[in-house]
Chains A and B, each alone.
Chain A
Amino acid sequence: MSAATLLEVRKLGKRFAQRQGREPSPWVIQDLSFSVRDGEFLTIVGPSGAGKSTLLNIIAQIDTATAGEIVFNGASVTTRDPRALKPGFDRRIGYVTQDDNLLPWRSTLDNVLFALEVQARLNDETRARAEMLIRAVGLAGFERYYPHELSGGMRKRTALIRTLVYDPPVILMDEPFAAVDAQTRTQLQADLLKLWDLGRKTIIFVTHDITEAIALGDRALVLSKQPSRIAAEHAIPIPRPRNVKDIFALEGFAATYEKIRADVQ
């Protein structure tokens, strides 16, 4: 793993616009700083309402920061003007959201190909990559199905590879597996690690589930309650490849879990 810093968040602050006749709105995020190395799988754990989605929205440039800056590859990319935002930062930041946001009128295959299509990058090579990813997550045979015909887990997989297929250098994930049952979630986590092994993208994965943060990440950050800032940082000493299904039994899991839990308020 290379040690070069790819993305850095410096003293980030966010408060939403004040409504007329109300108290000044509180800071959702304040003085939040961290950095991600190229190829690192960073997990961020925080209680509900800690501003986790807001943080990712700012990094993905679908929302502005009120203070601080985001530095990508050494250059500041922050703007205070909502109209100057570049969602996805010119396809360099992918975003897998909590809801799968699949296009209901597109089949599995066409949903996966959507980004390539609008980026005018649809060719034999990228098609082959899409097919490879579809096979890798067990969606082969479901290419022609519409989203409403798929199970929750299958929809999550489709949303996942829809972002992976166009290969953005950084991928943000906002509790993508929160809405599925425990068994499916474990399988999805295993799938994600398998896919990550293929490309070793830089991933920032936000979750409220400590076990998930440990199972997936190289390093876990703990967010405090509002206004959220980094409360603690933990390297995860569990070697890869990891067997997500037996993560509890692996050496180092219990100790890391206890340490993180003590920090999560």
Chain B
Amino acid sequence: MTVAATPAPPSRLRAIRWRTVVDRVLVLIVLIAVWQIGTWWVGIYWLSSPWATAARFVEQTLSGELLRHAGYTLWEAAAGTLIAGLPAVLLPFLLRRHPVMVAILDPFMIGGYGAPKLAFAPLFLLWFGIGLESKIALAASVVFFIVYFATLAGVRALDLRLVQMAQIAGASEWHIARHIVMPGAVPNIFAGFRIAVPYAIAAAVIAELISSNRGLGYLVQTGAMNFDTTSVFAAIAAATLLVLAANGLMSALEAMLLRWRPPIQSMMET
């Protein structure tokens, strides 16, 4: 770049942002309309209507029931994300100087990444019981491999010229890991968590579905058993909102940590 980047004028940016909000509302209206038509088509017994779902959602939220169950699911997904996310981020850093180790581990990691983790749910239930632990284990097993590969890609994309510059300036291995490799890998680590966290929430819900006495998956399961599709949809809506909220939180964190990135680049990714 030979000239200073000139950001778009704020008025235009604001216009784009408003346009996006309006268009999103339009898409939402279309989706709800399709849903409503579907309800008319097959009957409210099989497919609950948007209105009934919204009413149930509000009712269950006000009674605290939905929040309580969503809280369990959130806790399981968050614990799984943390327990697996930390080693998944650290491992590629520790292995950075040991490419042979990475090569040895590679087929196992790819195997772990590719294995259908949800099929492990019955096993985890067997091992860890029907409490929170089995759900945390399933969420963790999903998060670990996604974050590991994302971080590994970030560590590998390291710009060696920056490392040489730092070495010449007198940087130690630790300085290089801390000041060059780490900040350079942060965008990839975020990309990994952005994919992993919705999966973690989904994994928790599905484990609850199989066997549980609490959580959003449990609500889905009992709703379906009672032919109460309204409750099923209300629980699914809650799980979806959980994913959206987690995503929003990560966007905010990312915007804060990646202030240094050119705006065009970050705008394309959000």
Contact = CB atoms under 8 A, between A and B. Distances in A.
Nearest to B162: A101
B185 to A, nearest CB: 11
Interface in B131-169: 159, 161-162, 164-169
Interface in A145-174: 146-155, 162-163, 166
B172 A60 contact: no
Given A60-B168, A105-B260, A151-B3, 19 more contacts: A62-B164, A88-B168, A88-B169, A88-B170, A94-B168, A94-B169, A95-B165, A95-B168, A97-B165, A101-B159, A101-B162, A103-B179, A115-B169, A118-B169, A119-B170, A146-B259, A147-B260, A148-B1, A150-B4
A209 interface: no
Given A103-B180, A149-B5, A91 B260 contact: no
A9 interface: no
Contact of A103 (B162, B168, B261): B162
A-B CB proximity, top 4 nearest: A88-B168, A115-B169, A87-B167, A152-B2
B165 A118 contact: no
Given A101-B161, A104-B260, A119 B1 contact: no
A62 B170 CA distance: 13
B161 A114 contact: no
B3 A87 contact: no
A202 to B, nearest CB: 16
Contacts of B171: 118
Which of under 10, 10 to 19, 20 to 34, or 35 or more describes the interface residues of A? 35 or more
Given A105-B260, A148-B261, A118 B168 contact: no
A166 B170 CA distance: 10
A150 B2 CA distance: 9
A143 to B, nearest CB: 14
Given A118-B175, A181-B2, A148 B262 contact: yes
Question: Which of A93, A148, A155 has most B Cβ within 10 Å?
Answer: A148
A95 B72 CA distance: 56
B112 interface: no
A94 B183 CA distance: 24
Interface residues of B, number: 27
A96 to B, nearest CB: 10
A180 interface: yes
A140 to B, nearest CB: 16
Which of B161, B167, B169, B183 counts the most A-chain CB atoms under 10 A from its CB? Answer: B169
B113 to A, nearest CB: 29
Interface string A91-128: 10111010101011111000000110011000000000
B179 A118 contact: yes
A153 B166 CA distance: 21
Contacts of A166: 169-170
Contacts of A94: 168-169
Interface centre among B1, B159, B162, B168, by most chain A C-beta atoms within 10 angstroms, is: B168
A118 B259 CA distance: 23
Contacts of B260: 104-107, 146-148
B9 to A, nearest CB: 16
A101 B170 contact: no
A61 to B, nearest CB: 8
Given A97-B161, A101-B161, A104-B260, A118 B2 contact: no
A221 to B, nearest CB: 23
Contact of B169 (A91, A104, A154): A91
A229 B175 CA distance: 37
Q: Which of B161, B165, B179, B260 has the most CB of A within 10 A?
A: B165
B227 to A, nearest CB: 55
A147 B171 CA distance: 21
A119 B180 contact: no
Interface string B172-184: 1001000110011
Contacts of A155: 1
A87 B2 contact: no
A118 B261 contact: no
A205 B2 CA distance: 22
A153 B2 CA distance: 7
14 contacts: A60-B168, A88-B168, A91-B169, A101-B161, A107-B260, A114-B166, A114-B179, A115-B170, A151-B2, A152-B1, A153-B2, A166-B170, A180-B2, A181-B2
